Structures are given as structure tokens and as C-alpha cells.
A and B are shown apart, each in its own frame.
Chain A
């Protein structure tokens, strides 16, 4: 199992990197991906999550080859 984790904007700055690759045998939820990638136990409520560039909630299941992105509320326009 290989998962590409990406961070954007203020989250990228506060974590000090733009992402990480995770590998392992077990299937993971979004919450577990966050914990393994960042070392932080709880995914903050205001952080948005996308899997393969589509929004998901924190309970979504991640499968092999997925790209999981974490980012703060969006402020375009």
C-alpha cells in the first residue's frame, strides 16, 4: 500500500513540508493517514480533506495509490 499525502498553504508552512509518501500493509481512514503522516493525533476540524482531488469527510477509507490532500479553508475569488 502506497499513499501520497499532500499539504497546501498555511498547513504546508506549519508542517514544514509539502507532503510525504506513506507505505504499509493495512488499510487506513483519513484520520489515520493524518496521524501517520504528521505525528499529530487529531485532525483539526477546520482542515479540509480531498482524496484523488475530490472532497471527502474524515471517515473516508483510503486505498492503495490514493492521493490524500489536507488543506485549510479556501480563500479564492
Chain B
């Protein structure tokens, strides 16, 4: 398991490559890799968004992410997990979050990746503040629904 918070922009596919190279001991067992990339939009709630700042709770955020990944490792047959999450100031188009789940079979890869993302959205202490094109700023108060109603 690798969990990283990054104050700098990151390139998701470079992170995936590095992860695969560093964790080469799993290479023969990996039959499925599920990758989720969350990217900042330039709109939200009908408004144009020009930038965003991501606040977090140093110490607790990392701990919560570890607990979420640990739960995924207990519930599915998972070989390895990478989570990268941005903090600080970000711009539209920037990757915010990357979740990579390596498994032997696709069902575990899809389901564990989905679980990690949904749990991250509701439990990991991150908060987004949007800067709008109208010069106003506002805190994002709710996440959109991850699963269809």
C-alpha cells in the first residue's frame, strides 16, 4: 500500500508507471489493474470555477486513507493499492485524486477501487474551496452522489 499527499501537481500515468516498477514483486500475480483519476472541473453548481484550494488535516487524513485501504484489503482479494491525493491550490484540468488497485481478477479490482473512492469521499478529511469567475469564493458543502439512486 502506498498513500501520498501531494502539494505539487502530479501526472497520474507517471505515478502508475512508477508504482508498477517499484512493486514489481506483484507483477506475475497481477491480472487486473483498476485506475480511477479524479480531475478538477471548471464548473460546479451552475457557476464557472477558476481555481480551488484543498485543505486537509495533516495526520488524520493519512490515517483515514490507510484505514480505508486496509478495509478494502480485508474485503477483497487485492495485491496492492496506490492512492495519491492533491492538497493546496489547484486549477481546472489538474488531477485531484488517483486510485490504483492491482488484483488477480477484474471483479476485485473494480469493486475495491470503487469502494476506496466512495469511502475517501465521505471519510477522508479534505475540504474544497472554490474561487469563482465572479470573484467570489465558496466552500463546497456536499459531494455529488457516487452511485446511481
Contacts and interface: CB of A to CB of B under 8 A. Distances in A.
Interface of A: 6, 8-10, 13, 50, 53-55, 69, 71-77
Interface SS, B side: mixed
B127 A77 contact: no
Given A53-B63, A76-B121, A69 B128 contact: no
B100 interface: no
Contacts, number: 72
Contacts of A50: 57, 60, 125
Given A8-B125, A9-B127, A9-B139, A76 B59 contact: no
Interface residues of B, number: 27
Contacts of B85: 76-77
A41 B143 CA distance: 28
B38 interface: yes
B91 to A, nearest CB: 17
B127 A75 contact: yes
Interface string B103-115: 0000000000000
Given A10-B141, A76-B97, 7 more contacts: A54-B63, A73-B143, A74-B122, A74-B125, A75-B121, A75-B140, A77-B124
